[in-house]
Structure 1
Amino acid sequence: MPERDVVSWNSMISGCASYGFFGYALGIFLNMQNAGVRPSEFTFSILTSFVSSAHHGKQIHGNMIRGGMNFKNTVIWNSLIDMYGKLGLVDYSLGVFLTMEEFDVISWNSLISSCYRSGHGELALDQFCLMRSSGHSPDEYTISTVIAVCSDLQALEKGKQIFAFCVKVGFFSNTIVSSAAIDLFSKCNRLEDSVRLFEELSRWDSVLCNSMISSYARHGFGEEALQLFVLTLRESLRPTEFTLSSVLSSVSIPLLMEQGRHIHSMVVKLGLESDPIVASSLVEMYAKYGLIDSAIRIFRKLVVRDLISWNTMILGLSCNGRVDETLHIFKELLGEGPPPDQITLAGVLLACNYGGLVDEGMSIFLSMKKEYGVIPSDKHYACIVDLMSRAGKLQEAMNVIEKMPHEPKALVWGSILRACGIYGDLKLTEKAAERMMELDPQSSLPYLVLTWAYEMRGRWESTVRVRRAMKERGVKKVIGCSWIGIKNQMFVFKENQLLHYGGKENYLILRLLTWEMEDEGYVCQRHDKVHAGGEEE
């Protein structure tokens, strides 16, 4: 072009940003300034919508001030408040808001949203109160944001008050507000209220159904989530990536595994298999059932992988005992992916724990803060303590506990206790059991390990004392069980007992099958036991 005006430059910046070429868009903005073309308010509005660096954001803010942007133009300053909110700089958002000569409901919404995004929920509620006291009327977006704040804070009573206000002003029929209220009740363990509210609404859309499906999935009602999903399909509501992700997360028992495969087929038909949200849910679903190769195939097909995708794959491999592959994926992430976070490193440490890789695990643990900027949490400490304890290095494990910046929780002491049960250090067993009883009074682990330790040493009075204390405190032993889904029935095996109607008949059939196998030569020898009562086991 022989001449390029501000509109031409803005079009190029906007075009690059819309396709995700944010660095190139910023480069064009610099070229625009070097060419002597003065940016317009629309230029800055585009730039603030995609800036991901605090340094660049502050530079753009400085350009706006030097360029003499009108402080009465609420649109441009609202976008600046929103930008700082996305960057987590809530102080700057407040600073911009306080310098504005005029502000509207969008200004308040941007400020409240900025506080919420930055993790300052209480501050967001305070801004909402200031908005009401200053005479500005909230809109549907304000209400939905404030209800979302109450959901994250588990502030049910405040959320109910705000919902009552929205009913009073006529926002009840707004699906964004209603879906936020469904999430509120669900996250505050009031699923029945979420269901009641959903059933009272006369019209469904994908936003409402997504919230309800997600609520069912959150509380473990997988079948109800699937039934609602089927109803949405019958209502010709096209599932979004969030719908499919919520439904896939609800497929948590073997009876629903086949439905999970059907949903995967639908994902492929809709062309959403490359969507990071849906793909991560598919990876999690397959990994959860041990179909780790299927999970790997989906992960490898992803063109764009966000940190959630990497973390899901790393955790899936770790939980399935694929130690070497976990470490290989972690190296790939360090080479080409985003920086790892707490979840990433927890998954890698878990893999080292399963594989007994003491040196590798300790090396990663010690480099967390220095190399990755991640401060170890209780989960990381528990994992490294468990790794040391399993390797028989109890003293090294205790050294890690003593160097913790805060008091270790029950999770950490549990690792020490389990190791004491193997390596038999009585003094350490008593110390760990005492601390765990204080931190987690209802856990049966310290009582069981102590009982075993005293029995091994013939200290029967101490054994009786521990058992009596366990009974008096109402601590119940955790009973292990296994279960399997066949067609539309769930069979649960708990302490050698089949817990469902007709269990005795099932054992009789199993015995007949065993006899047939013996007759066919598949079983060499029977190992039946006959008790005094004459009944075989």
Structure 2
Amino acid sequence: MFDRMPERNLVSWCSLMVGYLQTGFPLQVLKLFKDLTLVDSLRPNEYIFAVVFSACSDGGKALEGRQCHGYVVKSGLVFHQYVKNALINMYSKFSDVKGAMRVFSLVPGYDVYSYNLVLNGLVQQGFLNEAIQVLERLMGESVEWDSVTYVTVFGLCACLKDLKLGLQVHCRILTSDVELDVFVNSAIINMYGKCGKVINARKTFDWLQVKNVVVWTGIMAAYFQNGCFEEALNLFSEMKIDDVSPNGFTFAVMLNSTAGLSALRHGNVLYGEIVKSGFKDHVIVGNALINMYAKCGDIEAASKVFLDMMYRDCITWNTMICGYSHHGLGKEAMALFHDLLAAGECPNYVTFVGVLSACSHLGLVKEGLYYLNQFMRQVGVEPGLEHYTCVVGLLSKAGLLDEAEKLLRSIPVELDVIAWRTLLSACHVHRNYGFGRRIAEFVLEMDPNDVGTYTLLSNIYAKAKRWDGVVKIRKLMRERNIKKEPGVSWIEIRNVTHVFVSDDCQHPESTQIYKKVKELLARIKPLGYIPDVTAVLHDVEEEQKEDYLSYHSEKLAIAYGLMHAPLEAPIRVFKNLRMCEDCHSAAKLISKLTNSMIIVRDANRFHSFQNGCCSCADYW
């Protein structure tokens, strides 16, 4: 019909171009634009240019978009609102924030749609300081905000974790005529969640009369982000009672909450629901499944999910690499990293945290330094605190304490106590007590309230039999009201979590548990078990030291697991502190004695004990 028209004007050309654009043929729009100027010799107007810029963004034609930008500047139509907005939208879609900002800064006069485009582009690309500048400009003008503006600004507050600004914006919307729809309320809940104000998020949620899956997922995410994992899972049950069906994002939040609780059985139940609901092949769900299984100690299940995934993104690869690393499976992590490169994926910041952690577990000093100093920069990843901390751990575990200290003192990023404490812990492991005391004193100057450093320094004094030093540290801790975190281990048996502390007599079956521990230790002595009394950090007789060792929390949890876990099921124990060397030796031999797989996750990593060996190969 268009081709048979005896006379075609800009309206007919624009109508045809819009039709092609709306039906998904952006490249045809660009062809028509050329024909318009060459065949009919027409001068494009602002509406034509707006369609063309949209076609460039939809078709991924950045070069053509910039060429058209030059054309529109020469034509003088760049000042038209349609054109300005289309240009900003195009540059934002190309992730060219600088291009969008140039248009925004150089061409005066904007409506709320323009501000929304710029703000959203800046927030999405992580240019938060620039977004604040645009927001300040917006607040200084008499532009009326709409719901999209509020959603974007609440998102900015969430990214910045700026509660003060978030409260101001919340007050502003309450006094405006903007409808508090589901998207706005979800943004408010997200903002409060990211700012650590779960109660405020819950008040917003409870105030809503109608709650859809987006709002439910938002409040669950708020609880999850603040470590309230059980509350998140309880809300999931309430949502189902409310007859609201979960979506992929809901399941992802639930799986990550389950991972936070290390509740494998609950994770398996969720997996069944996911399969029934048809979300198994969603990438975000697959990623959360890998994370859940890895953090719950079932790395084989995590690997199976990874291999079964039809589609993978960078998060998928990173989660699996970090999962392998956390389990001490350095070879598998490195092999997967090479698979990632072979698949054409670009490694990012998180990828190298997993890779350097794997190098640390394997003792690959040369390779780790190569990745840090050369390869990361080759792929455009700037090393950060986590990477340097991994390499400090790598050097420290290898006994290269001087090199680790030199690295710490030369790092171009601001260090935290954890990096130094990594070195201090290695001093304790390698029994370099003089070096350790010096590092500890330095760390305590940085943070006089770091309980971990006091504990390690006290342990160093105890290992060196400097009991006067132990007394001094404990006195100092009392004076500063610093309390040592007690060692706690827990195990889940038939949906019930059993918690143990050292020399625990609170459990209703404590008598039987102690009897089981005593029996196990007696039976592994012929297999080579010798109690490591050096791990007892008290000035007592040798016989009493052996008694202290016998009833560490992880030994109690392992014994309870052997008493009650289903036959042939792995014993999965979780501990909040680093596993001591004596418990490590005992667990290896108990696994051999009972022909069981015993998996212990301590503060640093997973240890998988089987047939008298540990996955860490005693390098930890």
Q: TM bucket by the smaller chain? A: 0.7 to 0.9
Match of 1:61 among 63, 69, 72: 69
Match of 2:509 among 468, 484, 506: 506
Measured in 2, the distance between the counterparts of 1:463 and 1:308 equals 45
Corresponding residue for residue 179 of structure 1: 186
Q: Deviations over 1:302-334 (max 9, x none)?
A: 333211111111111111122111111101111
1:470 CA drift (Å): 2.7
Corresponding residue for residue 365 of structure 1: 372
Report the residue type matching 2:69 in the other structure: H
CA RMSD of aligned residues (A): 3.9
Measured in 2, the distance between the counterparts of 1:127 and 1:407 equals 29
Match of 1:43 among 40, 52, 66: 52
Would you say 1:395 and 2:402 are equivalent positions?
Answer: yes
Look up the SS of the partner of 1:349 in the other structure: helix
Q: 1:456–1:124: structure 2 CA closer, same or farther, 3 Å change rule?
A: closer
Kept in 2: contact 1:305–1:337 (CA 8 A): no
Q: Deviations over 1:95-118 (max 9, x none)?
A: 212454653221121122233234
Look up the SS of the partner of 2:246 in the other structure: coil
Look up the SS of the partner of 2:78 in the other structure: coil
Kept in 2: contact 1:492–1:498 (CA 8 A): no
Report the residue type matching 1:474 in the other structure: N
Report the residue type matching 2:294 in the other structure: A
Report the residue type matching 1:94 in the other structure: M
Corresponding residue for residue 71 of structure 1: 78
Measured in 2, the distance between the counterparts of 1:27 and 1:328 equals 45
Kept in 2: contact 1:481–1:493 (CA 8 A): yes
Kept in 2: contact 1:86–1:117 (CA 8 A): no
Measured in 1, the distance between the counterparts of 2:206 and 2:480 equals 43
Q: Deviations over 1:134-189 (max 9, x none)?
A: 32210011111112212222222221121122112243631111111111222222
Give 1:422-461 correspondences, 5 Å limit.
422-457=429-464, 459-461=466-468
Corresponding residue for residue 20 of structure 1: none
Report the residue type matching 2:227 in the other structure: G
Measured in 1, the distance between the counterparts of 2:525 and 2:466 equals 44
1:506 CA drift (Å): 0.8
Would you say 1:191 and 2:163 are equivalent positions?
Answer: no
Would you say 1:483 and 2:475 are equivalent positions?
Answer: no
Higher alpha-carbon deviation: 315-324 or 84-93: 84-93
Task: List alignment gaps of at least 5 residues for structure 1.
Answer: 18-24
Corresponding residue for residue 171 of structure 2: 164
Q: 1:30–1:293: structure 2 CA closer, same or farther, 3 Å change rule?
A: farther
Would you say 1:139 and 2:146 are equivalent positions?
Answer: yes
Measured in 2, the distance between the counterparts of 1:305 and 1:314 equals 13
Q: 1:330–1:181: structure 2 CA closer, same or farther, 3 Å change rule?
A: same
Would you say 1:152 and 2:159 are equivalent positions?
Answer: yes
Measured in 2, the distance between the counterparts of 1:3 and 1:333 equals 50
1:2 CA drift (Å): 13
Would you say 1:215 and 2:222 are equivalent positions?
Answer: yes
Q: 1:512–1:182: structure 2 CA closer, same or farther, 3 Å change rule?
A: same
Report the residue type matching 1:221 in the other structure: C
Measured in 2, the distance between the counterparts of 1:56 and 1:449 equals 62
Q: 1:453–1:126: structure 2 CA closer, same or farther, 3 Å change rule?
A: closer
Q: 1:306–1:57: structure 2 CA closer, same or farther, 3 Å change rule?
A: farther
Measured in 1, the distance between the counterparts of 2:273 and 2:349 equals 33
Measured in 1, the distance between the counterparts of 2:21 and 2:419 equals 52
Number of residue pairs the alignment of both structures matches: 519
Corresponding residue for residue 334 of structure 2: 327
Higher alpha-carbon deviation: 251-260 or 338-347: 251-260
Q: 1:360–1:170: structure 2 CA closer, same or farther, 3 Å change rule?
A: same
Report the residue type matching 2:490 in the other structure: W
Kept in 2: contact 1:321–1:351 (CA 8 A): yes
Measured in 1, the distance between the counterparts of 2:426 and 2:520 equals 41
Match of 2:114 among 101, 107, 110: 107
1:56 CA drift (Å): 7.0
Kept in 2: contact 1:341–1:374 (CA 8 A): yes
TM-score normalised per structure 1: 0.84
Q: Deviations over 1:456-511 (max 9, x none)?
A: 55555444333322332222223221111234532111123155xxx2x3113446
1:415 CA drift (Å): 2.0
Corresponding residue for residue 21 of structure 1: none
Task: List alignment gaps of at least 5 residues for structure 2.
Answer: 5-12, 531-541, 545-549, 552-620
Corresponding residue for residue 22 of structure 1: none
Q: 1:33–1:273: structure 2 CA closer, same or farther, 3 Å change rule?
A: farther
Report the residue type matching 2:370 in the other structure: S
Measured in 1, the distance between the counterparts of 2:501 and 2:243 equals 43
Match of 1:298 among 294, 305, 308: 305
1:380 CA drift (Å): 0.9
